[in-house]
Amino acid sequence: MRVVLLSLFFVAVSFSAAQNKPDAPPPITPRQIAAGLKKMSQPEAQKTLHDQVVRLFGRQNLTQGRAPAKIEATTVAWAIIDPKPARVVQQDGTLIGEMIALGDDGLQVLVTQMPNFTQTGYRVESEGMPHLVGTVHVEHYDYTADSLPQKNVPQGKLEKFVWKTSAVFPDTVRDVTVYLPAGFKPGEETCLMVWQDGSRHVDPNGSSRASVVFDNLIHKKEMPRTVGVFIDPGRMKKQPPGAKAANRGFEYDSIGDAYSRFLIDEILPEVEKRYQTKFRSQPEAWAIAGGSSGGICSFTVAWERPDKFRKVLSWVGSFVDLKGGHVYPSLIRLTERKPIRIYLLDGENDIDNKFGNWPIANKQMAAALKYMNYDFRIDWTQCFHGSKGMAPNLPEALRWLWRDVK
Protein backbone atom coordinates (compact mmCIF):
# COMPACT_ATOMS: atom_id res chain seq x y z
CA MET A 1 0.00 0.00 0.00
CA ARG A 2 2.81 2.38 0.91
CA VAL A 3 4.56 1.66 -2.43
CA VAL A 4 1.35 2.44 -4.32
CA LEU A 5 0.85 5.69 -2.44
CA LEU A 6 4.44 6.74 -3.09
CA SER A 7 4.04 5.93 -6.76
CA LEU A 8 0.89 8.01 -6.96
CA PHE A 9 2.65 10.84 -5.16
CA PHE A 10 5.51 10.91 -7.66
CA VAL A 11 3.08 10.72 -10.58
CA ALA A 12 1.19 13.71 -9.17
CA VAL A 13 4.40 15.67 -8.61
CA SER A 14 5.61 14.89 -12.14
CA PHE A 15 2.26 15.94 -13.61
CA SER A 16 2.27 19.18 -11.59
CA ALA A 17 5.82 19.95 -12.72
CA ALA A 18 4.89 19.29 -16.33
CA GLN A 19 1.90 21.62 -16.02
CA ASN A 20 4.08 24.41 -14.63
CA LYS A 21 7.04 24.21 -16.98
CA PRO A 22 8.22 27.74 -17.74
CA ASP A 23 8.40 26.90 -21.47
CA ALA A 24 4.83 25.54 -21.64
CA PRO A 25 2.82 27.30 -24.36
CA PRO A 26 0.31 29.90 -23.15
CA PRO A 27 -3.37 28.91 -23.15
CA ILE A 28 -5.31 29.43 -26.34
CA THR A 29 -7.40 32.62 -26.52
CA PRO A 30 -11.00 33.11 -27.74
CA ARG A 31 -9.74 34.80 -30.92
CA GLN A 32 -7.40 31.88 -31.58
CA ILE A 33 -10.28 29.44 -31.06
CA ALA A 34 -12.31 31.37 -33.66
CA ALA A 35 -9.41 31.15 -36.11
CA GLY A 36 -8.98 27.42 -35.38
CA LEU A 37 -12.64 26.71 -36.11
CA LYS A 38 -12.04 27.81 -39.70
CA LYS A 39 -9.57 24.94 -40.13
CA MET A 40 -11.92 22.18 -38.95
CA SER A 41 -11.56 20.29 -42.26
CA GLN A 42 -8.01 19.34 -41.25
CA PRO A 43 -8.20 16.40 -38.77
CA GLU A 44 -4.88 17.18 -37.11
CA ALA A 45 -5.81 20.84 -36.68
CA GLN A 46 -9.17 19.80 -35.19
CA LYS A 47 -7.48 17.52 -32.65
CA THR A 48 -5.00 20.23 -31.69
CA LEU A 49 -7.81 22.74 -31.22
CA HIS A 50 -9.81 20.21 -29.18
CA ASP A 51 -6.91 19.67 -26.80
CA GLN A 52 -6.22 23.39 -26.48
CA VAL A 53 -9.85 24.16 -25.62
CA VAL A 54 -9.91 21.41 -22.99
CA ARG A 55 -6.71 22.80 -21.50
CA LEU A 56 -8.14 26.33 -21.41
CA PHE A 57 -11.45 25.48 -19.72
CA GLY A 58 -10.46 22.33 -17.80
CA ARG A 59 -11.96 18.92 -18.55
CA GLN A 60 -13.65 18.54 -15.18
CA ASN A 61 -15.21 22.01 -15.47
CA LEU A 62 -16.42 21.17 -18.98
CA THR A 63 -18.05 17.89 -18.00
CA GLN A 64 -19.69 19.36 -14.89
CA GLY A 65 -20.99 22.56 -16.53
CA ARG A 66 -18.69 24.78 -14.48
CA ALA A 67 -16.68 26.42 -17.27
CA PRO A 68 -17.70 30.08 -17.51
CA ALA A 69 -17.25 32.07 -20.70
CA LYS A 70 -13.79 33.32 -21.65
CA ILE A 71 -13.48 36.89 -22.93
CA GLU A 72 -10.79 38.48 -25.08
CA ALA A 73 -11.52 42.10 -26.00
CA THR A 74 -15.04 41.77 -27.49
CA THR A 75 -14.68 38.08 -28.45
CA VAL A 76 -16.48 35.64 -26.15
CA ALA A 77 -16.01 31.85 -26.11
CA TRP A 78 -18.12 29.16 -24.43
CA ALA A 79 -17.40 25.43 -24.20
CA ILE A 80 -19.06 22.34 -22.72
CA ILE A 81 -18.75 18.56 -22.92
CA ASP A 82 -22.19 17.08 -23.53
CA PRO A 83 -23.33 14.26 -25.86
CA LYS A 84 -26.38 16.28 -26.96
CA PRO A 85 -26.20 19.37 -29.22
CA ALA A 86 -25.95 22.52 -27.10
CA ARG A 87 -26.50 26.20 -27.60
CA VAL A 88 -26.04 29.49 -25.77
CA VAL A 89 -29.01 31.77 -25.13
CA GLN A 90 -29.63 35.02 -23.29
CA GLN A 91 -31.65 35.03 -20.09
CA ASP A 92 -34.80 35.90 -22.04
CA GLY A 93 -34.27 32.94 -24.38
CA THR A 94 -32.87 34.91 -27.30
CA LEU A 95 -30.37 32.73 -29.16
CA ILE A 96 -26.74 33.81 -28.99
CA GLY A 97 -25.53 30.86 -31.06
CA GLU A 98 -25.52 27.12 -31.67
CA MET A 99 -22.41 25.35 -30.37
CA ILE A 100 -20.06 23.53 -32.75
CA ALA A 101 -18.98 19.93 -32.07
CA LEU A 102 -15.23 19.57 -31.71
CA GLY A 103 -14.37 15.86 -31.39
CA ASP A 104 -16.07 12.60 -30.43
CA ASP A 105 -16.19 13.17 -26.67
CA GLY A 106 -19.02 15.74 -26.78
CA LEU A 107 -16.81 18.84 -26.65
CA GLN A 108 -18.69 21.78 -28.15
CA VAL A 109 -17.70 25.43 -28.52
CA LEU A 110 -19.20 28.73 -29.52
CA VAL A 111 -17.20 31.86 -30.27
CA THR A 112 -18.90 35.14 -31.12
CA GLN A 113 -18.47 38.90 -31.00
CA MET A 114 -20.43 40.83 -28.38
CA PRO A 115 -21.03 44.61 -28.33
CA ASN A 116 -18.50 46.56 -26.26
CA PHE A 117 -19.61 47.94 -22.89
CA THR A 118 -22.42 45.44 -22.47
CA GLN A 119 -23.42 43.02 -19.75
CA THR A 120 -25.25 39.90 -20.88
CA GLY A 121 -26.74 37.12 -18.80
CA TYR A 122 -26.54 33.75 -20.54
CA ARG A 123 -27.17 30.05 -20.14
CA VAL A 124 -25.69 27.06 -21.94
CA GLU A 125 -28.40 24.47 -22.58
CA SER A 126 -29.08 21.24 -24.43
CA GLU A 127 -32.59 20.05 -25.24
CA GLY A 128 -33.94 22.92 -23.16
CA MET A 129 -32.05 21.88 -20.02
CA PRO A 130 -29.64 24.51 -18.63
CA HIS A 131 -26.13 23.28 -17.80
CA LEU A 132 -24.37 26.56 -17.07
CA VAL A 133 -25.61 30.05 -16.18
CA GLY A 134 -23.49 33.17 -16.04
CA THR A 135 -22.91 36.77 -17.06
CA VAL A 136 -20.37 38.27 -19.45
CA HIS A 137 -19.08 41.81 -19.03
CA VAL A 138 -17.61 43.02 -22.29
CA GLU A 139 -15.38 46.01 -21.63
CA HIS A 140 -12.42 46.62 -23.90
CA TYR A 141 -9.98 49.50 -24.23
CA ASP A 142 -6.79 49.91 -26.20
CA TYR A 143 -3.65 50.92 -24.33
CA THR A 144 -1.45 53.77 -25.49
CA ALA A 145 2.30 53.32 -25.87
CA ASP A 146 2.82 54.74 -22.38
CA SER A 147 1.28 51.59 -20.86
CA LEU A 148 3.51 49.24 -22.87
CA PRO A 149 7.20 48.43 -22.29
CA GLN A 150 9.49 50.43 -24.57
CA LYS A 151 12.89 49.16 -25.70
CA ASN A 152 14.77 52.36 -24.95
CA VAL A 153 13.22 52.91 -21.51
CA PRO A 154 15.06 51.55 -18.44
CA GLN A 155 12.89 49.65 -16.01
CA GLY A 156 12.51 50.39 -12.35
CA LYS A 157 12.99 47.73 -9.72
CA LEU A 158 10.22 46.04 -7.72
CA GLU A 159 10.94 44.99 -4.13
CA LYS A 160 8.51 43.24 -1.80
CA PHE A 161 8.10 42.75 1.93
CA VAL A 162 5.40 41.48 4.28
CA TRP A 163 4.03 43.67 7.07
CA LYS A 164 2.73 41.74 10.08
CA THR A 165 3.11 44.08 13.06
CA SER A 166 0.55 46.83 12.57
CA ALA A 167 -0.58 48.64 15.71
CA VAL A 168 -3.32 50.51 13.82
CA PHE A 169 -4.77 47.34 12.28
CA PRO A 170 -3.68 44.59 14.70
CA ASP A 171 -3.72 40.90 13.77
CA THR A 172 -3.38 41.66 10.06
CA VAL A 173 -0.76 40.71 7.49
CA ARG A 174 -0.23 42.23 4.04
CA ASP A 175 2.18 42.35 1.12
CA VAL A 176 3.84 45.63 0.21
CA THR A 177 5.56 46.12 -3.16
CA VAL A 178 7.93 49.05 -3.59
CA TYR A 179 8.75 50.51 -7.01
CA LEU A 180 12.19 52.12 -7.17
CA PRO A 181 12.74 54.14 -10.36
CA ALA A 182 15.52 53.11 -12.73
CA GLY A 183 18.90 54.23 -11.44
CA PHE A 184 17.61 54.80 -7.92
CA LYS A 185 20.38 55.42 -5.40
CA PRO A 186 19.98 55.09 -1.63
CA GLY A 187 19.31 58.48 -0.10
CA GLU A 188 18.03 60.02 -3.32
CA GLU A 189 15.16 62.43 -2.72
CA THR A 190 12.07 61.39 -4.68
CA CYS A 191 8.37 62.00 -4.82
CA LEU A 192 6.05 59.40 -3.30
CA MET A 193 2.91 57.72 -4.59
CA VAL A 194 1.00 55.22 -2.43
CA TRP A 195 -1.42 52.74 -4.06
CA GLN A 196 -4.17 50.69 -2.43
CA ASP A 197 -4.77 47.11 -3.63
CA GLY A 198 -1.15 47.42 -4.62
CA SER A 199 -0.09 44.03 -5.99
CA ARG A 200 -2.53 43.99 -8.88
CA HIS A 201 -1.88 47.59 -9.91
CA VAL A 202 1.92 47.34 -9.93
CA ASP A 203 1.93 44.07 -11.91
CA PRO A 204 3.52 44.89 -15.32
CA ASN A 205 1.25 42.27 -16.91
CA GLY A 206 -1.89 43.33 -15.06
CA SER A 207 -4.62 45.74 -16.02
CA SER A 208 -3.21 48.99 -14.61
CA ARG A 209 0.47 48.32 -15.35
CA ALA A 210 1.43 51.20 -13.07
CA SER A 211 5.10 50.23 -12.95
CA VAL A 212 5.32 50.33 -16.77
CA VAL A 213 3.58 53.71 -16.89
CA PHE A 214 5.96 55.02 -14.21
CA ASP A 215 8.95 53.85 -16.26
CA ASN A 216 7.74 55.57 -19.42
CA LEU A 217 6.58 58.85 -17.90
CA ILE A 218 9.63 59.26 -15.66
CA HIS A 219 11.90 58.57 -18.66
CA LYS A 220 10.10 61.25 -20.69
CA LYS A 221 10.16 63.62 -17.69
CA GLU A 222 6.37 63.81 -17.80
CA MET A 223 6.25 62.94 -14.11
CA PRO A 224 8.97 63.35 -11.47
CA ARG A 225 11.16 60.56 -10.18
CA THR A 226 8.80 58.78 -7.83
CA VAL A 227 8.95 55.85 -5.45
CA GLY A 228 5.72 53.87 -5.58
CA VAL A 229 4.49 52.07 -2.46
CA PHE A 230 1.88 49.49 -3.48
CA ILE A 231 0.07 48.16 -0.41
CA ASP A 232 -2.36 45.26 -0.25
CA PRO A 233 -5.26 45.37 2.21
CA GLY A 234 -4.90 43.40 5.40
CA ARG A 235 -5.63 39.71 5.64
CA MET A 236 -6.39 38.43 9.10
CA LYS A 237 -3.49 36.33 10.38
CA LYS A 238 -5.65 33.21 10.49
CA GLN A 239 -6.37 33.57 6.76
CA PRO A 240 -4.21 31.57 4.33
CA PRO A 241 -1.95 33.40 1.86
CA GLY A 242 -3.86 34.42 -1.24
CA ALA A 243 -7.22 34.54 0.55
CA LYS A 244 -9.45 37.57 0.01
CA ALA A 245 -8.39 40.27 2.44
CA ALA A 246 -10.97 40.21 5.23
CA ASN A 247 -9.97 43.63 6.59
CA ARG A 248 -10.22 45.51 3.28
CA GLY A 249 -13.64 47.08 3.76
CA PHE A 250 -12.89 48.20 7.32
CA GLU A 251 -9.55 49.75 6.34
CA TYR A 252 -10.63 51.39 3.10
CA ASP A 253 -14.26 52.45 3.55
CA SER A 254 -14.07 53.83 7.08
CA ILE A 255 -13.74 57.58 7.34
CA GLY A 256 -11.35 59.09 9.89
CA ASP A 257 -7.58 59.13 10.34
CA ALA A 258 -6.79 55.44 10.99
CA TYR A 259 -5.47 54.63 7.52
CA SER A 260 -3.42 57.82 7.29
CA ARG A 261 -1.81 56.96 10.64
CA PHE A 262 -1.12 53.45 9.35
CA LEU A 263 0.72 54.89 6.35
CA ILE A 264 2.57 57.74 8.03
CA ASP A 265 3.52 55.99 11.27
CA GLU A 266 4.11 52.42 10.06
CA ILE A 267 4.47 51.65 6.36
CA LEU A 268 6.37 54.67 5.05
CA PRO A 269 9.01 54.61 7.83
CA GLU A 270 9.51 50.90 7.09
CA VAL A 271 10.01 51.65 3.38
CA GLU A 272 12.50 54.38 4.23
CA LYS A 273 14.43 52.05 6.52
CA ARG A 274 14.47 49.03 4.21
CA TYR A 275 15.34 50.76 0.95
CA GLN A 276 17.02 53.96 2.18
CA THR A 277 14.44 56.09 0.45
CA LYS A 278 14.07 59.78 1.20
CA PHE A 279 10.76 61.34 0.29
CA ARG A 280 10.64 65.01 -0.60
CA SER A 281 9.28 67.08 2.27
CA GLN A 282 6.78 69.15 0.26
CA PRO A 283 3.24 67.72 0.49
CA GLU A 284 2.80 68.49 -3.24
CA ALA A 285 5.32 65.69 -3.81
CA TRP A 286 3.12 63.08 -2.11
CA ALA A 287 0.29 61.36 -4.01
CA ILE A 288 -2.09 58.51 -3.24
CA ALA A 289 -4.19 56.30 -5.53
CA GLY A 290 -6.85 53.60 -5.49
CA GLY A 291 -9.99 52.29 -7.11
CA SER A 292 -13.39 51.49 -5.65
CA SER A 293 -12.99 51.33 -1.85
CA GLY A 294 -9.32 52.10 -2.45
CA GLY A 295 -10.47 55.31 -4.14
CA ILE A 296 -12.42 56.63 -1.17
CA CYS A 297 -9.57 55.49 1.08
CA SER A 298 -7.13 57.61 -0.93
CA PHE A 299 -9.37 60.65 -0.69
CA THR A 300 -9.80 60.11 3.07
CA VAL A 301 -6.02 60.08 3.60
CA ALA A 302 -5.55 63.40 1.78
CA TRP A 303 -8.64 64.88 3.44
CA GLU A 304 -7.32 63.97 6.90
CA ARG A 305 -3.66 64.80 6.22
CA PRO A 306 -3.27 67.47 3.52
CA ASP A 307 -0.07 68.44 5.29
CA LYS A 308 1.36 65.19 3.88
CA PHE A 309 -0.69 64.11 0.83
CA ARG A 310 -1.98 66.64 -1.69
CA LYS A 311 -2.60 64.56 -4.80
CA VAL A 312 -5.42 61.98 -5.12
CA LEU A 313 -6.11 59.55 -7.95
CA SER A 314 -9.48 57.82 -7.52
CA TRP A 315 -11.43 55.71 -9.99
CA VAL A 316 -14.90 54.19 -9.51
CA GLY A 317 -14.56 55.51 -5.97
CA SER A 318 -16.99 54.10 -3.39
CA PHE A 319 -18.36 57.43 -2.14
CA VAL A 320 -21.51 55.63 -0.99
CA ASP A 321 -22.89 54.44 2.32
CA LEU A 322 -20.63 51.45 2.96
CA LYS A 323 -19.16 52.94 6.14
CA GLY A 324 -20.31 56.55 6.01
CA GLY A 325 -18.41 57.78 2.95
CA HIS A 326 -21.57 59.16 1.36
CA VAL A 327 -21.18 62.26 3.58
CA TYR A 328 -18.17 63.58 1.66
CA PRO A 329 -20.04 65.74 -0.88
CA SER A 330 -21.70 67.60 2.02
CA LEU A 331 -18.47 67.79 4.03
CA ILE A 332 -16.62 69.24 1.06
CA ARG A 333 -19.24 71.99 0.70
CA LEU A 334 -19.26 72.80 4.43
CA THR A 335 -15.49 72.70 5.08
CA GLU A 336 -12.92 75.32 4.21
CA ARG A 337 -11.20 74.31 0.97
CA LYS A 338 -8.14 72.14 1.51
CA PRO A 339 -5.03 72.29 -0.72
CA ILE A 340 -5.74 68.96 -2.46
CA ARG A 341 -5.70 68.10 -6.17
CA ILE A 342 -8.15 65.32 -7.07
CA TYR A 343 -8.52 63.20 -10.19
CA LEU A 344 -11.74 61.18 -10.47
CA LEU A 345 -12.84 58.63 -13.07
CA ASP A 346 -16.11 56.75 -13.29
CA GLY A 347 -18.60 55.49 -15.86
CA GLU A 348 -22.27 54.98 -16.57
CA ASN A 349 -22.02 51.20 -16.08
CA ASP A 350 -20.72 51.38 -12.51
CA ILE A 351 -22.59 49.81 -9.59
CA ASP A 352 -26.08 50.67 -8.39
CA ASN A 353 -27.14 48.73 -5.28
CA LYS A 354 -28.54 49.14 -1.77
CA PHE A 355 -25.47 51.08 -0.62
CA GLY A 356 -25.87 53.71 -3.31
CA ASN A 357 -25.31 54.58 -6.94
CA TRP A 358 -21.60 54.86 -7.73
CA PRO A 359 -21.99 57.07 -10.86
CA ILE A 360 -24.27 59.51 -9.02
CA ALA A 361 -21.97 59.53 -5.98
CA ASN A 362 -18.95 60.43 -8.10
CA LYS A 363 -20.92 63.15 -9.90
CA GLN A 364 -21.92 64.54 -6.51
CA MET A 365 -18.24 64.55 -5.50
CA ALA A 366 -17.34 66.42 -8.69
CA ALA A 367 -20.14 68.93 -8.17
CA ALA A 368 -19.03 69.62 -4.58
CA LEU A 369 -15.39 69.98 -5.61
CA LYS A 370 -16.40 72.39 -8.37
CA TYR A 371 -18.57 74.41 -6.00
CA MET A 372 -15.65 74.81 -3.58
CA ASN A 373 -13.25 75.65 -6.40
CA TYR A 374 -10.94 72.65 -5.89
CA ASP A 375 -8.26 71.75 -8.40
CA PHE A 376 -9.98 68.64 -9.70
CA ARG A 377 -10.77 66.71 -12.87
CA ILE A 378 -13.33 64.02 -13.61
CA ASP A 379 -13.12 61.78 -16.69
CA TRP A 380 -16.39 60.12 -17.59
CA THR A 381 -16.42 56.80 -19.44
CA GLN A 382 -18.64 53.79 -20.09
CA CYS A 383 -16.68 51.64 -17.63
CA PHE A 384 -18.05 49.00 -15.32
CA HIS A 385 -16.81 48.68 -11.74
CA GLY A 386 -13.13 47.75 -11.68
CA SER A 387 -9.85 49.00 -13.10
CA LYS A 388 -10.30 48.35 -16.82
CA GLY A 389 -11.66 51.84 -17.44
CA MET A 390 -8.84 53.50 -15.51
CA ALA A 391 -6.00 51.55 -17.11
CA PRO A 392 -5.85 53.27 -20.53
CA ASN A 393 -6.36 56.69 -18.89
CA LEU A 394 -3.61 56.22 -16.29
CA PRO A 395 -0.77 57.93 -18.22
CA GLU A 396 -2.84 61.07 -18.83
CA ALA A 397 -4.13 61.08 -15.25
CA LEU A 398 -0.57 60.94 -13.88
CA ARG A 399 0.57 63.73 -16.20
CA TRP A 400 -2.29 65.88 -14.95
CA LEU A 401 -1.67 65.11 -11.27
CA TRP A 402 2.09 65.74 -11.41
CA ARG A 403 2.05 68.72 -13.79
CA ASP A 404 3.42 71.18 -11.20
CA VAL A 405 6.25 68.97 -9.87
CA LYS A 406 9.56 68.46 -11.68
- Identify the DSSP state of 28: P
User: How far is residue 21's CA from residue 33's CA, in Å, rounded to a whole number?
Assistant: 23
What's the pTM value of the predicted model, to 2 decimals?
0.89
3-state secondary structure of 170: coil
CB 88 within 8 A of CB 97: yes
pLDDT in tens, 314-327: 999 999 999 999 99
Question: 233, 167 in Cβ contact below 8 A?
Answer: no
CB 54 within 8 A of CB 107: yes
Q: Which helix (H) or strand (E) holds 279?
A: strand 278-279
Confidence of residue 8 (pLDDT cuts 50, 70, 90): very low
Partners of 197 in the beta sheet?
none
Cα distance between residue 46 and residue 296, in whole Å = 50
Read off the pLDDT band of 241 (50, 70, 90). Answer: confident
- What are phi and psi for residue 176, nearest 5 degrees? -130, 125
- The SS3 call for residue 371 is helix
What is the predicted pLDDT for the residue at 242? 78
> How does pLDDT run across 20-58, given as a tens digit for each residue?
455 678 999 999 999 999 988 888 899 999 999 999 999
Is the pLDDT at 9 greater than 90? The verdict is: no
Cα–Cα distance, 378 to 269 (Å, whole number): 32
pLDDT at 41: 82
- Condensed to tens digits (0 to 9), the pLDDT of residues 171-189 reads 999 999 999 999 999 999 9
Q: What's the whole-number mean pLDDT along residues 91-102?
A: 95
Angle at 66 between CA 389 and CA 22, to 5 degrees: 70
pLDDT on residue 1:
43
Q: What is the pLDDT confidence band of residue 5, given thresholds at 50, 70 and 90?
A: very low
